[in-house]
Structure 1
Amino acid sequence: MKKNVILNVVTRNNDIATQVVQKDRNTHYEFVNEVETAIEKLHQLPVRAILLDQELPLEEQEKINKIGKVLHEGLPIATADFLNAEHFSEAVQELKRAVVKHNMKKYEFEDNPNLNNPFLNMNETQCTLS
């Protein structure tokens, strides 16, 4: 089974977070208890998204936001209420969409509708019928 997104979850409520996370097996979660270890893991791991607990102090949230944006340009960062399972799952879905959008920026797509239909790309000399 392919893991979609690496989410670094910064929280002090690991018990609640693990209960919510057990439902979603397609996403790899990396749990971090302290802001200092979260910053260290930002340097070491290929971070795709960061999910912060709302109960963290605003100073710590801002510190992670600033360092995360400097180290990984376009890194999606969100905060969620880990006590509310619905709010948590919505935040995870938003982060997954943001990661896909960020990954798709690498590719360039042409806006030519004829590329998908080979018959429209043929010229008159190729269309001779016997």
Structure 2
Amino acid sequence: MYFYTEPGGDAIAKAFHKCGALMKEGKHLQTAIVVPQMSNLNGIISDYLGDDAIRCLTKNKVIKLNPEEILLFTKRNPPLMFKGPILAAFTTIPQVKAIIKACPGAEIVYIPWQEDEKDLYVKLYRATQL
């Protein structure tokens, strides 16, 4: 299934909350966050997760919460055959398409960078708004 938030505001909180719910529903122990590049972690993502979590993600590409984990992927290090929920934050539609192709069956929670990207995502994937 495909989900999305409106850009801005409390989008990060809604998206992480949905990923957590999808983890429980699917009995997954991992969720992933995909950003175009590492610098996209700065700003509202770091405000939500905290600077220590961002340092851990940047250095190790994973936050271990025992037993759950949050994995980090970027355009240069894309997810392959990932089975848990994926938060695609500020990615382009071509990057979302690549994620869907590389991770068939994964549930995607999309945070668009711009309104027109959201509209295209909804049109292409019949996504549900959070």
Where relative contact order (Cα < 8 A, 6+ residues apart) is larger, the structure is 2
- Taking structure 2 as the reference length, what is the TM-score of the superposition? 0.37
- Taking structure 1 as the reference length, what is the TM-score of the superposition? 0.37
Q: Which has the higher helix share?
A: 1
